[in-house]
């Protein structure tokens, strides 16, 4: 035992012995996919397998020029791997910074160690907000209450006494204590928790799900079209099987939207890197997308809108208690709590422990549900049972001191009541029958974050409703909200007066009242959770920010949970996004990244699917008319690079502030299907005209027909890029011009003509191709106008 009677924990020799035996908490906390998983995810895909097979076929039957698409697939996979590795490095670095370090008692001394350094039998200390890193048995308990909702789903705190079991993943809501580790490493529940938390993942995303549906549509269309194309080309070109295979491969390759998944992964990964530079840890990648879809954000006041620290501004002695006595009692209360919250830290800083030996014989830690703490003091002037907490909880309604409390709260100050009681410390507060005797009003001044007002204005400008949710007095919360310019701050709502949103009546008053309220005070942790449920039930996408243990349940159940890096371990464990430097201004950056990803992926998805649609149209037309396929693989590789691949890469990473909207797949198909039909019909029309015009000529006739069709398709798809890239900023105009110049270079330089087998013959067909392309571009613009008119009619 140590001098104060507490267990000393393991000795250094015992720790060393357990490390040698491998009895350590050796489960690695993964903040990202492994290098092997990243490589496999970018290389071993269905589309890469298909393209790789076709690549090998072309290498056998054709020249290297027709296998260029294979090298592009390799380059795309390499780009994806590099970007994800950069994102992995960012995530891993931030995760190490944000990883909690449990307090472990060894040789009678307490030290912070990394989670993987915990050994079997270690004595681990716990305080409010701490999460149990391993399984164990309670050794010491000082009013210890654990929340096991992350494990069992039960929201009520569980009182823990010596010899009770503790499971990793549960966290302390009030009190403190210590427990002995009985299961570590992969034997503990933490093994699964560490594998699920802080992970780089691309699942459960509306964007990813939509792209998956698009790819399934493509496969469903591609398989029968490819089979028909194979048979038709073998029948048409039976005299030249190699030529038939080359043109068959060209028809299949162009149907594959393989770059769509790559561009999406790259856009997400770049977003992680960008936010990482701002000390924002994205624990689940779809959170970037999710926050962009949020229309309601619930903000905890303390630690989010205000800084964690406070200052003792005033002390109003009441009744027969002198200010000196009140300070002595407050000093003793501050010294008695080994893990004080922000309020008690401010009091302890202003009121040092009394020198006459006034000490706490028993303590009651602060609880968010109780709204007060207490202690039994002995050994000096001021002995007795004292409570410190919310005046409107400890005093009955209509008490004279509540008027003064309201006046102080209206100034944005936080007010606590110091009161004496003759009841047992752990007896439930009963303000009506047994009110305590008021001794002093403790007035604390909160520090409002200087950046909070600008961030709230940003949300208001973007149409995102902000709700201030706090356990503090509603009037005080309203005053702080008013200083930040929050609409509705002059009508704060006491959450105790709200109907239960989970038990709303037929008129829906429960959830409607929650939706109308903007500033809510005296909100319990369970009410925060119910509030999130109510808002989601009314169709809102909700984000919740917080830093305290009382916010953990709400963060877990919100669509997006945002935790402060300096907050409790419990909130960091359940949040999808952690602001490592507590910089509230990072939130607009996260929203902007999400909108950039969603808006730009929707743009480039239109490019990729337009290609799939026009390739299917031409394949069906070729099958029905029994003619050679218009293109070789090299032609479509060139077109895909200049009108899809290169533009899509730049457009996917460009700034985009458009609000995220639902029904991603429907909107993409509404633009891609008509664009693809127009491009396919126009190109095939020129091809048939060229076959008729050059009929009977054998010298380069097929090359001239293909060249005319290629020119037509390039002009139309380049205009599709123009439409999708709008609004046309200077760099987007430059991008389109560069793609046009590159194509002209291919058509003008002799060795490039030979390399790509492209050469326009005469004047009639080239200008016919341009004319048809112009008509098709006009039809594209008409399609855009019709789509916009219909969207306005639907209210989109």
3 state DSSP class of 173: strand
Complete DSSP assignment for 528-584 = HHHHHHHHHHTT--EEEEE-SGGGHHHHHHSSEEEEETTS-HHHHHH-SEEETT--T
Beta strands in 422-568 (DSSP E): 437-448, 465-469, 493-494, 519-521, 542-546, 560-564
b/e map 40-75, b = 16+ CB within 10 Å: ebbbebebbebbbebbebbeeebeebbbbbbebbee
Contact 760, 699 (CB under 8 A): no
Which CA distances in Å does 674 have to 580, 669, 677, 681, 686? 46, 8, 5, 11, 18
Beta strands in 87-220 (DSSP E): 103-106, 109-112, 123-126, 135-147, 158-159, 165-166, 171-183
Cα separation, 317 vs 194, whole angstroms: 50
Cα separation, 348 vs 355, whole angstroms: 14
Beta strands in 283-431 (DSSP E): 296-300, 306-317, 359-364, 372-378, 384-389, 414-421
Which CA distances in Å does 47 have to 37, 106, 256, 773? 17, 56, 7, 31
Closest CA to 547 of 470, 492, 482, 486: 470
Phi, psi at 514, each rounded to 5°:
-65, -40
Cα separation, 336 vs 357, whole angstroms: 12
- The sheet with strand 519-521 has its strands ordered as 280-282, 577-579, 560-564, 542-546, 296-300, 465-469, 519-521, 493-494
- Residues 133, 138, 140, 145, CA torsion sign: positive
Closest CA to 326 of 345, 346, 351: 351
Closest CA to 524 of 6, 270, 157: 157
Which residues are the active-site residues? 300
Cα angle 129, 196, 584; round to 5: 50
376 Cβ neighbours under 8 A, 6+ residues apart: 360, 361, 362, 363, 384, 385, 386, 425
């Amino acid at each position: 035992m140590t001098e104060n009677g507490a267990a000393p924990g393991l000795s250094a020799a015992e720790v060393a012995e357990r490390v040698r035996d491998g009895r350590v908490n050796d489960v690695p906390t993964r903040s990202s996919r492994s290098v092997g998983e990243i490589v496999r995810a970018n290389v071993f895909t269905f589309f890469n397998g298909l393209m790789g097979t076709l690549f090998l076929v072309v290498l056998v039957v054709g020249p290297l020029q027709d296998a260029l698409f294979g090298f592009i697939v390799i380059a795309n996979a390499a780009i994806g791997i590099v970007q994800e590795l950069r994102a992995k490095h960012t995530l891993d670095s931030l995760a190490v910074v944000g990883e909690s370090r449990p307090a472990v008692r060894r040789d009678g001394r307490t030290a912070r160690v990394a989670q993987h350094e915990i050994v079997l039998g270690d004595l681990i200390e716990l305080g409010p907000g701490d999460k149990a890193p391993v399984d164990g048995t309670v050794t010491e308990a000082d009013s210890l209450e654990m929340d096991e909702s992350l494990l069992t789903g039960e929201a009520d705190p569980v009182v823990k006494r010596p010899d009770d079991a503790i499971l990793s993943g549960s966290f302390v809501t009030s009190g403190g204590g210590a427990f002995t580790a009985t299961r570590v490493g992969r034997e503990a529940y933490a093994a699964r928790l560490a594998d699920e938390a802080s992970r780089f993942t691309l699942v459960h995303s509306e964007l990813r799900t939509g792209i998956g549906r698009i790819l399934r549509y493509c496969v469903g269309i591609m398989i029968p079209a490819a089979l028909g194309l194979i048979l038709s080309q073998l029948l048409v070109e039976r005299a030249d099987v190699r030529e038939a295979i080359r043109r068959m491969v060209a028809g299949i390759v162009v149907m594959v939207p393989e770059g769509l998944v790559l561009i999406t992964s790259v856009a997400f990964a770049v977003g992680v890197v960008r936010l990482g530079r701002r000390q924002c840890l994205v624990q689940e990648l779809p959170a970037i997308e999710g926050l962009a879809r949020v229309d309601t954000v619930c903000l905890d006041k303390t630690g989010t809108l205000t800084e964690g620290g406070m200052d003792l501004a005033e002390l109003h002695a009441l009744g027969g208690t002198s200010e000196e006595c009140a300070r002595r009692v407050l000093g003793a209360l501050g010294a008695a709590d080994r893990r004080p919250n922000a309020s008690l830290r401010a009091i302890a800083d202003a009121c040092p422990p009394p020198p006459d030996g006034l000490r706490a014989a028993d303590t009651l830690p602060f609880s968010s549900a109780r709204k007060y703490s207490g202690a039994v003091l002995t050994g000096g002037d001021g002995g007795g049972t004292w409570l410190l907490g919310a005046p409107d909880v400890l005093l009955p309604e209509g008490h004279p001191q509540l008027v003064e409390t309201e006046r102080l709260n209206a100034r944005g100050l936080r007010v606590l009541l110091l009161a004496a009681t003759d009841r047992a410390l752990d007896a439930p507060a009963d303000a009506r029958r047994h009110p305590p005797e008021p001794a002093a009003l403790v007035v604390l001044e909160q520090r409002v974050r200087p950046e909070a007002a600008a961030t709230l204005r940003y949300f208001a400008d973007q149409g995102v409703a902000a709700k201030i949710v706090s356990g503090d007095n509603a009037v005080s919360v309203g005053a702080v909200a008013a200083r930040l310019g929050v609409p509705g701050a002059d009508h704060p709502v006491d959450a105790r007066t709200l109907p239960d949103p989970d038990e709303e009546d037929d008129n829906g008053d429960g959830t409607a009242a929650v939706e109308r309220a903007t500033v809510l005070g005296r909100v319990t942790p369970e009410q925060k959770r119910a509030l999130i449920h109510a808002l989601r039930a009314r169709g809102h996408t909700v984000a919740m920010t917080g830093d305290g243990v009382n916010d953990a349940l709400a963060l877990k159940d919100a669509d997006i949970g945002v935790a402060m890096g300096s907050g409790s371990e419990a909130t960091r464990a359940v949040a999808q996004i952690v602001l490592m430097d507590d910089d509230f201004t990072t939130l607009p950056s996260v929203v902007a990244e999400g909108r950039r990803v969603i808006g730009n992926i929707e743009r480039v998805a239109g490019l990729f699917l337009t290609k799939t649609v026009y390739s299917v149209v031409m394949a069906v037309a070729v099958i029905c008319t029994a003619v050679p396929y218009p293109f070789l693989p090299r032609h479509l590789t060139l077109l895909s690079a200049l009108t899809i691949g290169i533009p899509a890469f730049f457009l996917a990473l460009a700034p985009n502030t458009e609000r995220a909207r639902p029904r991603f797949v429907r909107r993409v198909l509404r633009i891609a299907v008509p664009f693809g039909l127009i491009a396919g019909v126009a190109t095939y029309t020129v091809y048939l005209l060229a076959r008729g015009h050059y009929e009977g000529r054998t010298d380069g006739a097929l090359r001239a027909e293909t060249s005319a069709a290629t020119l037509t398709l390039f002009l139309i798809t380049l205009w599709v890029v123009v439409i999708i890239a709008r609004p046309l900023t200077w760099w987007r105009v430059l991008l389109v011009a560069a793609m046009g110049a590159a194509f002209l270079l291919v058509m003008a330089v002799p060795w490039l003509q030979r390399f790509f087998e492209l050469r326009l013959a005469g004047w009639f067909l080239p200008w016919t191709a341009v004319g048809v392309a112009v008509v098709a571009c006009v039809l594209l613009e008409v399609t855009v106008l019709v789509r916009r008119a219909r969207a306005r009619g639907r209210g989109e």
